[in-house]
A = this chain, B = another copy of it.
Amino acid sequence: MTDCGPNASPRSKGNVPAYREIYHRVRTEILTGRLPASARLPSSRTLAVQLGVARGTVELAYQMLAGEGYTLSAGARGTIVNPSLPVERKPVTFASDPRKPLRDVQLRLPPKPLLFQMGLPALDAFPRKQWAQVASRVARRVDVEQFAHPHDVMGYEPLRQAIASHLRITRGIACGAEQVLITAGALGALELIGQTMVVGPGDAVWMENPGYFYARDILRKLPVRLIGVPVDGEGLDVAAGIAAEPDATMAVVTPTHHYPFGMPLSQARRRALLDWAERRHAWIVEYDYDSAFHFRGATAPALKSLDRVGRVLHVGSFGKVLFPGLRMGYLILPHALLGRFEDVARIAHPSPPLMIQQMVHAFMREGHLARHVSRMRRLYAERRDALANALRTVLPDALDLLVPDGGTHVVAHLHGPERDVDLVARLRGSGIGPWPLSRCAVTASAANGLIMNYTNVAAADARSAVERMAAAMS
């Protein structure tokens, strides 16, 4: 096989010799600041091997760079970029970058958390020390198990056992580890369900309206018809769903705490939903959102615990009980769907890197997770009450407050004429980040309000936080 040497090869730039081409490439990196001051260059030996040229060729280029003052020899550290470069370094620019300004700017996440920002657990109360110990211990291991593509495409077997055991005891779900598929967060589970279960086009899917916007966005990418089904104090109005589209093939619901309003799906509605699914051979996707955090009485058991014939796919996540950056969730599958999901998993490898799964498993096994969740349950109840009190005191007229019995947020319906998205955009400028309720609309919805996460507002700070928001609102 021959060297086919197109233009970009360091040895074949028309009549430019290879060492000059290497010199030019490295010099460009330095001049644009992409190789910053004092950055170490690869050794001439390493770069020569990488480029497939003689070591002398790279050395010649490096000598030219040193001779012109771009680089310095730094002893054992090798060659570095001259920290006091005598030439003017231009900032990196991309003259022809045709990217449009970002749409929907107010919905992008900022680098630092905002006040009331959704989706974050309490940053101040996370057991950093225990997590750091467990995570670094797991990371220090480099065994074949971590190294290779995982043997089991459904996820790390001990973690699947631990999750099944946890769900049997705390959520009443009679499941075995073989039904557990570890996913990249709840979103990964919903993506996978979409890929695997949607036959479409024309498949209809029920969603609570308003409902979980991420699930809606994932479903919108698929060739399905989304049916927004209204909710009331008992959760999804099953009769309204049947009236709108009895032949839907799937319903996506949040039965433990409705997203975003927080009420559980009533016992009567649960039966009605399961009856519909059994009769129509439809599937129910239960997103068990925030079920770990319930503050009054017993947590409603999972809908899956009532599923006698295997119509319910149960989705859970470690995003709130640990942290969302882990991107770790799970899917409890009916036995009849295991083969189908395993086939897809064998191609898509949906589980996170094994190392991360091992970290979460060790954290569970050593009891840290259960202790942390108990503590957060008490803490979040306290923070919820403090925020609700502050909102009622400081902004009694502007907002109509809904304080769910569980979860991690309150919902404040807006009285005034301003649209929630406009208000949210204004508040962002002041570092305040509630989520607009109207963004949860699946189909037309009059909902206009703020979803406010309280996990990161200490009880003692609730009053001043709300005063800050009130000032920014007016």
Binding site for B on A (CB under 8 A): 1-12, 25-26, 28-29, 34-35, 40, 42-43, 45-47, 49-53, 92, 94, 96-100, 102, 108-113, 119-120, 123, 126, 128, 131-132, 135-142, 144-151, 161, 164-165, 168-173, 176, 178, 184-185, 187-188, 191, 195, 214, 217-218, 221, 233, 262-267, 270, 292, 294, 296-302, 305-306, 323-328, 335-336, 338-339, 342, 344, 346-349, 352-356, 359, 367, 370-371, 373-374, 377-378, 404-405
In the assembled complex, the Cα of A175 lies from the Cα of B178 at a distance in Å of 45
In the assembled complex, the Cα of A336 lies from the Cα of B100 at a distance in Å of 9
B residues less than 8 Å from A99 (CB atoms): 178, 335, 338-339
Are B265 and A178 touching (Cβ within 8 A)?
A: no
Are A29 and B169 touching (Cβ within 8 A)?
A: yes
B residues less than 8 Å from A123 (CB atoms): 144, 147
Known: A47-B370, A123-B147. 18 other contacts (CB 8 A): A7-B172, A8-B173, A8-B301, A34-B168, A49-B378, A50-B170, A52-B299, A53-B298, A120-B147, A132-B139, A147-B324, A147-B325, A148-B324, A184-B349, A325-B354, A328-B353, A352-B352, A355-B356
- With A120-B148, A139-B138, A325-B353 already in contact, the answer to whether A97 and B335 are too (CB < 8 A) is yes
In the assembled complex, the Cα of A347 lies from the Cα of B374 at a distance in Å of 31
In the assembled complex, the Cα of A353 lies from the Cα of B327 at a distance in Å of 6
B residues less than 8 Å from A404 (CB atoms): 1
Are A185 and B349 touching (Cβ within 8 A)?
A: yes
Are B294 and A374 touching (Cβ within 8 A)?
A: no
B residues less than 8 Å from A188 (CB atoms): 349
